[in-house]
Amino acid sequence: MSNSTLFLMQAEYSKSAYLLEQLQHMADPSTDQIVLMAESVLLYNDPSLNNYHCYILKNDADILPESIGSRIQIIDYSEFSQILLQHTRCISLK
């Protein structure tokens, strides 16, 4: 288990600027990881996430208008469970 934090971003897209601002104040790009969920997956291309290790659930990736490239990893629920277990802290940003 690592001391890093897993951030679950799962808010409406209209709150994206607020979420990204919160994330920049709370997260450490060198150790923390982010899972984009629900409408927050639309942030996949935001430059402020470039320094973070990000994931998107396979079911949520279906709403994306194009392929997302290799910067963000698409995961299934089994992989999501494993990622959760690797962290001592999990913060949900809604």
Measuring CA to CA, which residue among 13, 22, 23 is closest to residue 51?
A: 23
For the segment 70-86, what is each residue's pLDDT rounded down to a tens digit?
778 999 999 999 999 99
Count of domains forming the chain: 1
CATH (domain of 31): 3.40.1260.10
Query: Which domain range does residue 49 map to?
Result: 2-93
Q: What percent of the chain has pLDDT over 90?
A: 63
Sequence letter at residue 37: M
Contact 90, 84 (CB under 8 A): yes
Measuring CA to CA, which residue among 32, 37, 79 is closest to residue 53?
A: 32
> DSSP assignment, residue 49?
G
For the segment 46-72, what is each residue's pLDDT rounded down to a tens digit?
999 999 999 999 999 888 867 777 778
> DSSP assignment, residue 4?
E
